[in-house]
Chain A
């Protein structure tokens, strides 16, 4: 895991991705009790391609050159199946910009803020997102003002209240 995290920062330094941060179940686990997951979801801001399209191909090529092969929708990086998810909307772009670095043993991990994870759950809206949002609400010490601003900016305040 430690080496996996280092590789993510190496990709950033090499310009393969503009920025990355852990989200999904492991992102939530940073703030709440640990729960079962087999994937490490990593959101990435990608450099714009010539045509302005989002494509993971250069990222996969860079990983392959480092010896990390794709396995379905994942890339196995040092024994951890990583799923890269490009930031495809304004909420995810903001979440990536405001993600914070946290210590993991003697290296750093970058994790989305709990408030953004909650907002992403609301936006995605699946039953498991609702359950994750409930855990974040109960255990994550959310900054209420910060969360309210995020939800308002992205038109999610009503659904958050509905889920409460």
Chain B
């Protein structure tokens, strides 16, 4: 079997913050009744995380569960486990109305890192980063395309977009991170 390739194969750019495509990330779209105990249990089994509240993202040992909408979660697992995890979720939720789909290949994941990482994203996303704590995820846009982002570390923002626009988003992030164009006032 051929080796899977992420959209930009780990491309990166250095400016006043570092922009890198994070390679392959397992992602599962889970739609269902978020009030259901079975769903919470299935999420726990798949990610080790408790169900996140509105706009929340819970992370544990390299896996995560993120709130997307009142009936949708995004689960993050290692790329190689995504297909099996999706199948396990489908099986665990067989008794109720739910949908679990592996969307790992439909997405691209970027990390913007450095002390000024926020300033890169501020140029593209209408998000109040000063009031975005760790543990929150935002579905927003990056310039002209849909995106979701969260603080994956104190000095790091993770941003997910659709795979087909990975090149566009990389170029957006790279030009926004160009040295000298910091937003900090003089």
- A and B from one assembly? no
What is A's interface to B at a CB cutoff of 8 Å? none
